[in-house]
Amino acid sequence: MSAPTVRRRRLGTKLRALRAELTLEEVAERSEGRFVYSKLSRIETAKSPAKAKDIDALLDLYVALGREVSDELRAALLTLTKEGAQRGWWHSYRGVLTPVYEDLISLEAEAESVSSWQLGVIPGLLQTGEYAREIIRATAMSEAVEARVDALVEVRLARQAVLSREDPLTLWAIVAEQALRSTSEGDGVMHEQLGRLLSMGKRPNVNVQVLPANAPLHVGQLGSFTILGFGPHADLDVVHTEGLTSALYVEEREQVAAHRDAWQRLTSAALSVEASAELITEIRKNA
Protein backbone atom coordinates (compact mmCIF):
# COMPACT_ATOMS: atom_id res chain seq x y z
CA MET A 1 0.00 0.00 0.00
CA SER A 2 1.44 3.38 -0.95
CA ALA A 3 1.70 6.16 1.59
CA PRO A 4 -1.18 8.66 1.44
CA THR A 5 -0.33 12.01 -0.09
CA VAL A 6 -1.60 15.37 1.04
CA ARG A 7 -3.74 15.65 -2.08
CA ARG A 8 -5.42 12.33 -1.32
CA ARG A 9 -6.03 13.41 2.27
CA ARG A 10 -7.55 16.68 1.04
CA LEU A 11 -9.76 14.79 -1.42
CA GLY A 12 -10.94 12.50 1.37
CA THR A 13 -11.76 15.47 3.59
CA LYS A 14 -13.87 17.12 0.89
CA LEU A 15 -15.69 13.86 0.12
CA ARG A 16 -16.51 13.34 3.79
CA ALA A 17 -17.98 16.83 3.89
CA LEU A 18 -20.19 16.03 0.90
CA ARG A 19 -21.31 12.76 2.44
CA ALA A 20 -22.38 14.71 5.55
CA GLU A 21 -24.78 12.71 7.73
CA LEU A 22 -24.84 9.65 5.49
CA THR A 23 -22.82 6.62 6.52
CA LEU A 24 -20.46 4.91 4.11
CA GLU A 25 -22.77 1.90 4.16
CA GLU A 26 -25.71 4.05 3.08
CA VAL A 27 -23.71 5.61 0.24
CA ALA A 28 -22.59 2.18 -0.93
CA GLU A 29 -26.18 0.91 -0.85
CA ARG A 30 -27.49 3.88 -2.85
CA SER A 31 -24.74 3.52 -5.45
CA GLU A 32 -26.48 0.35 -6.69
CA GLY A 33 -23.33 -1.74 -6.73
CA ARG A 34 -20.92 0.88 -8.14
CA PHE A 35 -19.18 1.30 -4.80
CA VAL A 36 -18.60 -0.95 -1.83
CA TYR A 37 -18.01 0.24 1.74
CA SER A 38 -14.35 -0.78 1.81
CA LYS A 39 -13.54 1.11 -1.40
CA LEU A 40 -15.23 4.28 -0.20
CA SER A 41 -13.45 4.01 3.14
CA ARG A 42 -10.04 3.66 1.50
CA ILE A 43 -10.68 6.74 -0.65
CA GLU A 44 -11.88 8.89 2.25
CA THR A 45 -8.99 7.86 4.50
CA ALA A 46 -6.41 8.24 1.69
CA LYS A 47 -5.36 4.63 2.13
CA SER A 48 -5.46 4.06 -1.63
CA PRO A 49 -5.57 6.36 -4.68
CA ALA A 50 -8.86 7.00 -6.42
CA LYS A 51 -9.61 6.93 -10.12
CA ALA A 52 -11.01 10.03 -11.79
CA LYS A 53 -13.95 8.08 -13.26
CA ASP A 54 -14.88 6.80 -9.79
CA ILE A 55 -14.79 10.28 -8.26
CA ASP A 56 -16.86 11.61 -11.14
CA ALA A 57 -19.44 8.88 -10.56
CA LEU A 58 -19.42 9.47 -6.81
CA LEU A 59 -20.06 13.18 -7.33
CA ASP A 60 -22.95 12.32 -9.65
CA LEU A 61 -24.37 10.18 -6.86
CA TYR A 62 -24.06 13.01 -4.34
CA VAL A 63 -25.82 15.36 -6.76
CA ALA A 64 -28.64 12.81 -7.06
CA LEU A 65 -28.79 12.73 -3.27
CA GLY A 66 -29.31 16.49 -3.15
CA ARG A 67 -25.76 17.67 -2.53
CA GLU A 68 -24.56 20.83 -4.24
CA VAL A 69 -21.57 20.10 -6.46
CA SER A 70 -20.55 23.07 -8.58
CA ASP A 71 -18.54 22.71 -11.76
CA GLU A 72 -15.64 24.39 -9.97
CA LEU A 73 -15.77 21.92 -7.08
CA ARG A 74 -15.98 18.95 -9.43
CA ALA A 75 -12.99 20.21 -11.42
CA ALA A 76 -10.99 20.80 -8.24
CA LEU A 77 -11.71 17.32 -6.85
CA LEU A 78 -10.85 15.66 -10.14
CA THR A 79 -7.56 17.60 -10.19
CA LEU A 80 -6.78 16.40 -6.65
CA THR A 81 -7.55 12.86 -7.78
CA LYS A 82 -5.19 12.98 -10.74
CA GLU A 83 -2.40 14.75 -8.87
CA GLY A 84 -2.75 12.40 -5.90
CA ALA A 85 -1.46 9.57 -8.05
CA GLN A 86 1.72 11.42 -9.00
CA ARG A 87 5.05 10.13 -7.72
CA GLY A 88 7.55 12.27 -5.88
CA TRP A 89 11.34 12.15 -6.09
CA TRP A 90 11.41 9.84 -3.08
CA HIS A 91 9.75 7.07 -5.06
CA SER A 92 13.18 6.00 -6.30
CA TYR A 93 14.08 5.21 -2.67
CA ARG A 94 11.08 2.98 -2.02
CA GLY A 95 13.30 0.02 -1.25
CA VAL A 96 14.93 2.08 1.49
CA LEU A 97 12.06 4.02 3.03
CA THR A 98 9.22 2.80 5.20
CA PRO A 99 5.70 3.84 4.17
CA VAL A 100 5.52 6.09 7.23
CA TYR A 101 8.72 7.88 6.21
CA GLU A 102 7.44 8.27 2.66
CA ASP A 103 4.35 9.90 4.09
CA LEU A 104 6.44 12.37 6.11
CA ILE A 105 8.36 13.40 2.98
CA SER A 106 5.11 13.79 1.07
CA LEU A 107 3.67 15.96 3.83
CA GLU A 108 6.79 18.14 3.99
CA ALA A 109 6.74 18.55 0.22
CA GLU A 110 3.25 20.05 0.26
CA ALA A 111 3.10 21.75 3.66
CA GLU A 112 3.25 25.52 3.98
CA SER A 113 4.87 25.43 7.40
CA VAL A 114 6.65 23.14 9.82
CA SER A 115 6.72 23.88 13.55
CA SER A 116 9.22 21.57 15.20
CA TRP A 117 10.17 20.87 18.81
CA GLN A 118 13.22 18.66 19.28
CA LEU A 119 14.36 17.50 22.68
CA GLY A 120 17.50 15.57 21.79
CA VAL A 121 18.51 16.13 18.16
CA ILE A 122 18.78 18.84 15.52
CA PRO A 123 15.71 18.80 13.21
CA GLY A 124 16.25 16.71 10.08
CA LEU A 125 15.57 19.67 7.78
CA LEU A 126 18.56 21.47 9.32
CA GLN A 127 21.05 18.62 9.62
CA THR A 128 24.41 18.41 7.88
CA GLY A 129 25.34 15.21 6.10
CA GLU A 130 27.86 14.07 8.71
CA TYR A 131 25.58 14.85 11.64
CA ALA A 132 22.74 12.99 9.91
CA ARG A 133 25.04 10.01 9.37
CA GLU A 134 25.97 9.83 13.05
CA ILE A 135 22.38 10.22 14.24
CA ILE A 136 21.08 7.54 11.87
CA ARG A 137 23.80 5.13 12.98
CA ALA A 138 23.33 5.95 16.66
CA THR A 139 19.57 5.33 16.53
CA ALA A 140 19.58 2.34 14.18
CA MET A 141 17.89 -0.57 15.94
CA SER A 142 18.16 -3.11 13.14
CA GLU A 143 20.74 -4.39 10.68
CA ALA A 144 18.44 -3.35 7.85
CA VAL A 145 18.76 0.31 8.84
CA GLU A 146 22.51 0.02 9.34
CA ALA A 147 22.83 -1.32 5.78
CA ARG A 148 20.97 1.68 4.35
CA VAL A 149 22.77 4.53 6.11
CA ASP A 150 24.19 6.12 2.95
CA ALA A 151 20.83 6.12 1.18
CA LEU A 152 19.05 7.46 4.28
CA VAL A 153 21.55 10.33 4.50
CA GLU A 154 20.87 11.13 0.84
CA VAL A 155 17.15 11.21 1.51
CA ARG A 156 17.52 13.42 4.58
CA LEU A 157 19.55 15.97 2.66
CA ALA A 158 17.20 15.83 -0.34
CA ARG A 159 14.26 16.62 1.96
CA GLN A 160 15.87 19.97 2.75
CA ALA A 161 15.10 21.26 -0.75
CA VAL A 162 11.69 22.37 0.58
CA LEU A 163 13.48 25.23 2.35
CA SER A 164 15.01 26.65 -0.84
CA ARG A 165 12.36 25.91 -3.47
CA GLU A 166 10.63 28.75 -5.35
CA ASP A 167 7.84 28.88 -2.75
CA PRO A 168 9.80 27.77 0.31
CA LEU A 169 8.35 26.05 3.32
CA THR A 170 8.43 28.09 6.54
CA LEU A 171 10.31 26.30 9.31
CA TRP A 172 10.21 27.34 12.96
CA ALA A 173 12.40 25.05 15.01
CA ILE A 174 12.73 25.00 18.78
CA VAL A 175 15.69 22.90 19.94
CA ALA A 176 16.65 21.96 23.50
CA GLU A 177 20.09 23.22 24.55
CA GLN A 178 21.16 19.68 25.39
CA ALA A 179 20.90 18.74 21.70
CA LEU A 180 23.38 21.50 20.84
CA ARG A 181 25.88 20.27 23.42
CA SER A 182 25.98 16.67 22.20
CA THR A 183 29.39 15.26 21.39
CA SER A 184 30.18 13.39 18.19
CA GLU A 185 32.58 10.68 17.11
CA GLY A 186 33.91 12.67 14.16
CA ASP A 187 36.08 15.74 14.52
CA GLY A 188 34.26 18.96 13.81
CA VAL A 189 30.85 17.38 13.23
CA MET A 190 29.06 19.43 15.88
CA HIS A 191 31.04 22.57 14.96
CA GLU A 192 29.84 22.25 11.37
CA GLN A 193 26.30 21.39 12.47
CA LEU A 194 26.01 24.43 14.74
CA GLY A 195 27.34 26.58 11.91
CA ARG A 196 24.61 25.16 9.71
CA LEU A 197 21.99 26.15 12.31
CA LEU A 198 23.33 29.70 12.38
CA SER A 199 23.42 30.09 8.60
CA MET A 200 19.97 28.57 8.06
CA GLY A 201 18.55 30.74 10.84
CA LYS A 202 19.41 33.82 8.78
CA ARG A 203 17.01 32.80 6.03
CA PRO A 204 13.70 34.69 6.02
CA ASN A 205 11.71 31.44 6.08
CA VAL A 206 13.65 29.81 8.95
CA ASN A 207 13.54 30.62 12.67
CA VAL A 208 15.60 28.79 15.26
CA GLN A 209 15.00 29.08 18.99
CA VAL A 210 16.85 27.36 21.81
CA LEU A 211 15.16 26.22 24.99
CA PRO A 212 17.87 26.68 27.64
CA ALA A 213 18.90 23.85 29.93
CA ASN A 214 17.94 25.89 33.01
CA ALA A 215 14.36 26.44 31.83
CA PRO A 216 11.64 25.43 34.34
CA LEU A 217 9.82 22.13 33.84
CA HIS A 218 7.85 22.33 30.59
CA VAL A 219 5.45 20.41 28.36
CA GLY A 220 8.22 19.58 25.87
CA GLN A 221 9.79 17.18 28.32
CA LEU A 222 7.13 14.67 27.35
CA GLY A 223 8.76 14.26 23.94
CA SER A 224 9.56 15.81 20.57
CA PHE A 225 6.93 16.54 17.93
CA THR A 226 6.50 18.32 14.61
CA ILE A 227 3.39 20.11 13.34
CA LEU A 228 2.96 20.22 9.57
CA GLY A 229 0.67 23.09 8.59
CA PHE A 230 -1.29 23.57 5.38
CA GLY A 231 -2.33 27.21 5.64
CA PRO A 232 -6.00 27.75 4.79
CA HIS A 233 -6.54 23.99 4.80
CA ALA A 234 -6.12 23.79 8.58
CA ASP A 235 -8.24 20.65 8.70
CA LEU A 236 -5.30 18.87 7.03
CA ASP A 237 -2.71 19.89 9.64
CA VAL A 238 -0.99 16.87 11.12
CA VAL A 239 1.39 16.16 13.98
CA HIS A 240 4.32 13.79 13.54
CA THR A 241 5.95 12.13 16.53
CA GLU A 242 8.77 9.64 16.31
CA GLY A 243 9.95 6.94 18.70
CA LEU A 244 12.84 4.51 18.70
CA THR A 245 11.16 1.93 16.47
CA SER A 246 8.01 3.63 15.18
CA ALA A 247 6.39 6.92 14.21
CA LEU A 248 2.89 8.22 14.81
CA TYR A 249 0.69 10.72 12.97
CA VAL A 250 -1.94 12.64 14.92
CA GLU A 251 -4.72 14.10 12.75
CA GLU A 252 -7.69 14.56 15.11
CA ARG A 253 -8.42 18.29 15.23
CA GLU A 254 -8.52 18.50 19.05
CA GLN A 255 -5.22 16.67 19.44
CA VAL A 256 -3.53 18.75 16.75
CA ALA A 257 -4.76 21.87 18.57
CA ALA A 258 -3.32 20.56 21.84
CA HIS A 259 0.09 20.08 20.23
CA ARG A 260 -0.08 23.57 18.72
CA ASP A 261 -0.85 25.00 22.15
CA ALA A 262 2.10 23.06 23.57
CA TRP A 263 4.35 24.42 20.83
CA GLN A 264 3.23 27.98 21.60
CA ARG A 265 4.15 27.45 25.24
CA LEU A 266 7.59 26.27 24.15
CA THR A 267 8.15 29.34 21.95
CA SER A 268 7.40 31.50 24.99
CA ALA A 269 9.75 29.51 27.22
CA ALA A 270 12.60 29.47 24.70
CA LEU A 271 15.15 32.21 24.12
CA SER A 272 14.39 34.76 21.43
CA VAL A 273 15.71 34.07 17.93
CA GLU A 274 18.48 36.62 18.49
CA ALA A 275 19.48 35.31 21.92
CA SER A 276 19.35 31.76 20.57
CA ALA A 277 21.83 32.65 17.82
CA GLU A 278 24.16 34.11 20.45
CA LEU A 279 23.97 30.94 22.55
CA ILE A 280 24.57 28.69 19.53
CA THR A 281 27.61 30.83 18.60
CA GLU A 282 28.99 30.51 22.13
CA ILE A 283 28.48 26.74 22.27
CA ARG A 284 30.07 26.38 18.81
CA LYS A 285 33.34 27.91 20.06
CA ASN A 286 33.99 24.76 22.09
CA ALA A 287 32.45 22.22 19.70
CB atoms within 10 A of CB 207: 18
* pLDDT tens over the chain, length 287 residues: 455 677 888 899 889 999 999 999 999 999 988 899 999 999 998 888 899 999 999 999 999 999 999 998 898 899 888 877 777 888 889 888 888 888 899 889 888 999 999 999 999 999 999 999 999 999 988 887 888 999 999 999 999 999 999 999 999 999 999 999 999 888 899 999 999 999 999 999 999 999 999 999 999 999 999 999 988 878 789 999 998 888 888 888 899 999 999 999 999 999 999 999 999 999 999 98
Tell me if residue 32 falls in helix, strand or coil: coil
Whole-angstrom Cα distance, residue 177 to residue 120? 9
Single-letter code of the amino acid located at 236 = L
| CATH annotation of 89-284 | 3.30.870
Whole-angstrom Cα distance, residue 72 to residue 78? 10
> End-to-end alpha-carbon separation of the chain, Å?
44
Output the pLDDT for position 3.
56
| CATH annotation of 6-84 | 1.10.260.40
Largest CA distance in the chain: 71
Work out the angle between the directed axes of helices 71-84 and 6-19 (0-180°, nearest 10). 140
Domain boundaries, the chain: 6-84, 89-284
